[in-house]
Structure 1
């Protein structure tokens, strides 16, 4: 199986982080707006999401991915509080203040755990470029409280040493790929094996999130219509947790080049409790 591989190993940040939930309408990004989705990947921690001091998502449950949101370009303050906190009082669990939201961006912001189990907020830029005929693009993002892993396809490593919060991308022939995830440098299977169906001309983004104590979960986001230059509108899935029960590494067999881009300085603050 021939692959085109793009690799990224940087925990960079994107200015779109502050905009995650301002407009709960389907995204049709143009040169005045950004397209942003939000994934809640912190186990056991429902949150309320605030932007510019207004509560925008109430009781946001772990394992939930919002539909793509169309947001005007601008500057935003974002804060995540424990669910049912009284009017954003007290210290936020996570915050990003004075964040620029670049018009035209397509991003997913992920609230998740670091390798060491600390809450973090990481934005990723989603690739929306065209995919060659007969091919599919897959991105795997490691946002779980877990050490480095290798990803194998058909028993052979295709990604080595993937760490939190990074991603890698492969462009592969459309079809079904059987993959598993092993601890880096070993044959010890952490998740899988499992099959991942890859549709021609699409990008499948797989998120490995969770922790050993709470369990590792698989979240999947899809961006379709990339056989030719796309409009930049992602067709994401609203329900994040994988209902099929497939293990985490499913998507790990094909991963997409780290699309983290510093389109603005994001300050992430974890509250003291």
Structure 2
């Protein structure tokens, strides 16, 4: 695996509107739309989702990420219930959120570091990558302490905390990755082989609960970054390729795009030999 890597670190900015930021995501095909997918990362909790009082998704299972879909910009009142409990008690999660125009985002329902349910919106960087390269993003959305991420046994991201993310642009290829407790060699997740195809943006979610010993990885991948600078076009470039994704699009998902999101991006470049 090459060490020619471009790193970007995203810091949480609290509850705010979704920031397009320095690594600007692709504009949706229509300017009043957002392209949004959703990741369900709360272990053992199948959910029903309501927006403005209407059921939009039922029996949405943990470890599932949807394909990106367009959603009208606007404000939504989101309620997430444990499956079958709507109208019988307090929702597990509830937020009034705003969907901004032109965003490409993934909304994650996950656990905080101390195990509480939370909604976090992430900007997906689907800007162009260089020839022969791919983008790798790791998002910490698990009930777990800070972690380091290694690729091929070498440190790639360090001291990643929930709900932050790190991003690297690297040579395309297959990398053997694992997640270890920060500053140690104690493996928390993996190792796992990640196939990083040329011209793709690949997002890996570290999710689950360390205390319950169910930590896992989930990958979301967007194609078309090599030839299409904006990443998404009418021909389908930038569509997410996921494993075990739901066939039913939850329209509520993009509505959470104004919950906690990445607000500050800084970048640095590391140059080394090609592997």
Post-superposition Cα deviations, 1:37-56, rounded to whole Å, max 9, x if no partner, equal 11111011111101111000
Q: Deviations over 1:168-218 (max 9, x none)?
A: 000000111122221111121222222211011110011111113151121
CA contact (8 A) 2:28 2:102 kept: no
* C-alpha distance in structure 2 between counterparts of 1:240 and 1:70, whole Å: 17
Relative to structure 1, is the Cα distance of residues 14 and 36 closer, same or farther in structure 2, using a 3 angstrom cutoff?
farther
**1:64 maps to what in 2?**
64
Aligned to 1:24: none
Structure 1: give runs of 5+ residues left out of the alignment.
17-26, 242-258, 263-273
Aligned: 1:92 with 2:91: yes
1:44–1:260: structure 2 CA closer, same or farther, 3 Å change rule?
A: same
**Does 1 or 2 have the higher relative contact order (CA < 8 Å, sep 6+)?**
2
Would you say how many aligned residue pairs link Structure 1 and Structure 2? 233
Question: CA-atom RMSD, angstroms?
Answer: 2.2
Q: 1:163 aligns with which of 141, 161, 164?
A: 161
Alignment match, 2:37: 37
**What runs of 5+ residues in structure 2 fail to find an aligned partner?**
19-26, 233-237, 247-260, 265-275
Secondary structure class of the residue paired with 1:176: strand
Does 2:174 align with 1:176? yes
- Alignment partner for residue 206 of structure 2, among 205, 208, 219? 208
**Residue 272 of structure 2 corresponds to which residue in structure 1?**
none
Contact 2:188 2:215 in 1 (8 A): no
Offset at residue 261 of structure 1 (A): 3.9
Structure 1 match to 2:79: 79
Q: 1:59 to 1:76 in 2, by over 3 A?
A: same
For the 8 Å contact 1:176–1:196, the answer to whether it is kept is yes
Select 1:234's aligned residue among 214, 217, 239.
239
Comparing 5-14 and 148-157, the one that deviates more: 5-14
Q: Give the corresponding residue for 2:258.
A: none
| Alignment partners' CA distance in 1, 2:192 and 2:45 | 28
Higher strand share: 2
Is structure 2 residue 101 aligned with structure 1 residue 107?
no
Higher deviation after alignment, 5-14 or 45-54: 5-14
CA distance in 2, matches of 1:234, 1:260: 22
